[in-house]
Amino acid sequence: MAVISDIRKPKTHKGKRVLERRAPKLVENDKCTLVIKGGHTSDVVNTFLNDLCALKKPLVYRLKRKNRVLPFEDLSFIEKMCNKFDCSMFVVGMHSKKRPHNIIFGRLHDGELLDMFELGIKMYKPISDCKDKTLIYGAKPMLLFSGELFNLDTKYMTLKSLLVDLFKGPTVEKIRTLGVEHQFHFVLSSDKNLCLRVRKITLSTKGKTNSTELNVPPLKTPDGKVVQITLEDATPSADFDLRRVSLPSEDKWKRAHRVPPEVMKGDKTPKNKSVDVFGSRIGRVHVGKSSELENLRPGSTIRTALTGHRKRGFERIKSGVKKSKKTSVPSDLSVSKRRKLFTDA
């Protein structure tokens, strides 16, 4: 997000708390989405934006008035509004004769554009067409991607990453089995066609089938119960046509995926260390075998090898070196004769 120094200084305690909440962190907040309505829109675009806001709550901000924005030509207004509402993603809906029912998805990094995709709506079924309209709101979806291009081409891999950030919902540590109520299935049939299908997930002990339901093999829960999973067609569903694309450079993509060193250090688990019931740290030290110590220092034990003291009565003899014989000199000789004896030798 944008640096705090670029924003004016707070004048109230509430403004100070807002700036602290927007300040860079080691673990960032959940990504919010800014929804903007273009200068000219259609009923299909308006319905799509309404349903998207309902699915994204509370991680969404919407501008009520129409704004004449062209993201592929000028992004100054979008960057300014995203900076104001602390949003790292944006969705713009517009309609024209050249590009009918146009939707633009984009992401920002450090206050600048990272990537952007333009999609055209060919077919759309709103949430209002569903029988039970309250099942989708507020639930965390299961995302499924089908298509080889999602794993082969860099362009579609970036599109997959953008869709995951857009529809994954808030970050949670744990989730109940019954909390997964619907599935978002993205199908990339060709390089220009993207389909979205939503299915309702029902867990039951007895599988009951209808004509519009799809049965999945039974699943065993951690409690040992066998549960039958049933998928039923739901809304919203849409068919998109891929249009213009704006991809990031390699340097910008690397900067966006950079991980702070403090986070990397925290992820490393200490080896051979544990904490007992009383809170004491216990470490395990691996010592070599006694035979290895014997080779390093012959005639020594583990204790003598670690302390550095030699065994009593043990003398180290170097191989290939002989002791020199000392010449004995009689004590009754004078000093001059002793010198003569050593010089003759």
> Tell me: the pLDDT tens digits for 43-66?
999 999 999 998 888 899 999 899
More confident residue, 197 or 270: 197
Q: What is the phi-psi region of residue 257: left when phi exceeds 0, alpha when psi lies from -120 to 50, beta otherwise?
A: alpha
pLDDT band at 5 (very low <50, low <70, confident <90, very high): very low
pLDDT band at 323 (very low <50, low <70, confident <90, very high): low
Average pLDDT over residues 106-118: 93
The domains located in the chain, with CATH, are 31-267 (3.40.50.10480), 269-307 (no CATH)
Average pLDDT of the chain to the nearest whole number: 80
- Of 83-87, 90-94, 289-293, give the lowest mean pLDDT range: 289-293
Residue 78 near residue 33, CB atoms below 8 Å? no
More confident residue, 320 or 258: 258
More confident residue, 213 or 233: 233
- Of 8-12, 45-49, 154-158, 310-314, give the lowest mean pLDDT range: 310-314
List own/partner pairs for 59-63 with CB under 8 A and 24 or more apart. 59/30, 59/31, 59/32, 59/33, 59/169, 59/170, 60/32, 60/33, 60/34, 60/35, 61/32, 61/33, 61/34, 61/35, 61/85, 61/87, 62/34, 62/35, 62/36, 63/34, 63/35, 63/36, 63/37
Backbone angles phi, psi at 108, to 5 degrees: -120, 150
More confident residue, 205 or 230: 230
- Of 5-19, 27-41, 110-124, give the lowest mean pLDDT range: 5-19
* pTM of the entire predicted model: 0.69
pLDDT band at 314 (very low <50, low <70, confident <90, very high): very low
